[in-house]
Each structure stands twice: as structure tokens, then as C-alpha cells.
Structure 1
Amino acid sequence: MLGNVTKIFGQLQGLQQTLKELTVEGSAGDGLVKVLINGQQNVLAVRFDPERIRSVEPAELGSLVVEAYNQAQMESKIKAREEVTKTTGLNLSNLPGIF
């Protein structure tokens, strides 16, 4: 029994590290705004196309950042779910609120 708990704990620690290192990018405005996040949903970077950003109104830019983040977050959740399934063998896709 203790061996199983130790094994599961090790798998979860490895999974946390994998999710921390997993990165995805969301973009909006045809690449004007890019948001990079990891599998733990932490924002790693927000990038703007310097040639095109000058012509964008602040309100529109804010909307594009939100759109790019939402896209990245959705992709990150999909990839995190895949990693959990791969690591644990459990398919959590039908459990609401987990991913």
C-alpha cells in the first residue's frame, strides 16, 4: 500500500513539473498579439507585433490580449488533460471543472 502511495506521489510531482514546462501560445489579431502560457495556466509572456501595434486603439488591444489568452488557456487545458491521462491512465475529460 505504501509503495502505491509513493508511486502516485512521484507521478504527481513529475506531472506538476511537466505541466510547468509545457508551453502553449495563443494569438489574436492575425498574430498582432501573442500570449504564451504554461500547463499550470501561468502567463509566461505577452508579445506584440511592433510594426502593427501603433495603429491599434487601446480598447481593441485589450480585447486582443484577452482573446489570445483565452485561446492559449483552452489549448493549455487540452494539453494538460492529455498529460494527466498519459501519466495516470485516468481519463478526466468528463469531469467538469478539472480541466
Structure 2
Amino acid sequence: MMKQAKEMQAKMGELQEKVTELTVEGSAGAGLVSVTLNGKGVMQSLKIDSSLVKADEVEILEDLIMAAHNDAKAKGEAMVQEQTQELMSGMGLPAGMKLPF
């Protein structure tokens, strides 16, 4: 039992390292705004199409940036969840078991 717990701890450590290496891109406005996040949800880049840079459309631009960020964050969370499920399936744990992290 202890061996299995240590093995699981090691695999969780590996997963956490992989998560920091992940990059996901989210976009909004048919690709006019795109955001790249790392696996921890930290924004690494932001691209804005020059057609959106107009003084009277700042509110639209702000909304698109938030939408692109949320899109990327949701994709990142889904990737982490998928990798966690793959890890857990090899450990023989009951389906649906959630770990505290």
C-alpha cells in the first residue's frame, strides 16, 4: 500500500511539472483577439488584430480579451483534467475519485 502511495505521489509530481509546461491558446471575435496561457493560467502572450484598435471601441476590445482569456483557461483546465484521469486510470483507483488539488 505504501509503495502504491509513493508511486502515486511521484506520478502526481510528474503531472504537476507537465502542467507548467502546457500552453493553451484561446481566441475571441473570430480570432481577432488571442491569448496564450501556461498550464497554471498565467497569460504568456496577447495578440490583438490592429482593426480593433479604435478609441471608440475600447469596451468591445476589453470584452474580447476577457473572452479569449476565459477560452484559453477553460481549455487548459480540460487538458489538466484529462491528464489527471489518464494518470488515475493506471493506478487502479475508483472511477470519479477526486484528489485534493
CA root-mean-square deviation? 2.2
Q: How does 1:1-99 map to 2 (within 5 A)?
A: 1-49=1-49, 51-55=50-54, 57-89=57-89, 92=96
Structure 2 unaligned blocks of 5 or more: none
Q: What does the per-residue CA deviation read over 1:14-38, in whole Å, with 9 as the maximum and x for residues that have no partner?
A: 0001111111111111211111112
Q: Secondary structure at the match of 2:13?
A: helix
Tell me how far apart the structure 2 counterparts of residues 76 and 67 of structure 1 sit (CA, whole Å).
14
- Which amino acid is 1:34 matched to? S
What runs of 5+ residues in structure 1 fail to find an aligned partner?
none
The code of the aligned residue for 1:31 comes to G
> Partners of 2:43 and 2:54 in 1: how far apart?
25
Tell me how far 1:52 sits from its aligned partner: 1.6
Q: Is this contact kept in 2: 1:23–1:36, CA < 8 A?
A: yes
- Normalising by structure 1, what TM-score? 0.79
- The size of the alignment, in residue pairs, is 94
Find the residue that maps to 1:47 and give its secondary structure: strand
Query: Which range moves more in the overlay, 32-41 or 1-10?
Result: 1-10
Percent sequence identity is: 29
